Amino acid sequence: MPLPAFPGTPRMSSRWLDSDGRNSYDVGMKSVVSEKGQVTIPKLLRDKLGLRPGQVLEFETRDGMLVGRKAAADENPVDAVRGVLNRMSVDAEIAKMRGKPWNAADDRPRAKRR
C-alpha cells in the first residue's frame, strides 16, 4: 500500500519513507548547510560510523565531492617526549643550581662596605 504524498510535494516511493512517512535515508542521504556552515550528519550514519559528540572529523574535496573521515587521535606532545629524560630528584637539582647554603661559621666574613 503506497503512502500518501505530503501536500505540495511530489509522490515518493514507499521505500524512501519509514512507517511514519518520514525520510528513512535509505536511498540518498541529504543535509542542509546552515547559515553558520554547520551540517547535521544523519543519525543512521553517526551510529554506523561510531561518531560521538566531540569527535573530530577531517574534510577534503575529491573529484568535486566532500569527503569526511574521523581524524586520527592527536598525540599529546608531552606524551611524545615522556621517558626521554632520566628520573631525577627535584630537590637535589635545585640544591645543585643554588649551591650550598651560606653558613657564617664556615664562610669568610665579607669586606666592610663604605
pLDDT value, residue 97: 92
Q: What string of DSSP letters covers 59-109?
A: EEEETTEEEEEEPPPPPPHHHHHTTSSPP--HHHHHHHHH-SPP-TTTSPP
DSSP labels, 25-43 = -SS----PPPTTS--PPPH
Report the distance separating Cα 16 and Cα 22, nearest Å: 8
How far, in Å, CA of 51 to CA of 43, rounded? 9
pLDDT per position as a tens digit, 29-53: 788 999 999 999 989 889 988 898 9
Write down the pTM of the prediction: 0.41
> Which CATH number applies to 30-70: 2.10.260.10, 3.30.9.30, 1.10.10.60, 2.60.120.510?
2.10.260.10
Domain boundaries of the chain, sorted by first residue: 30-70
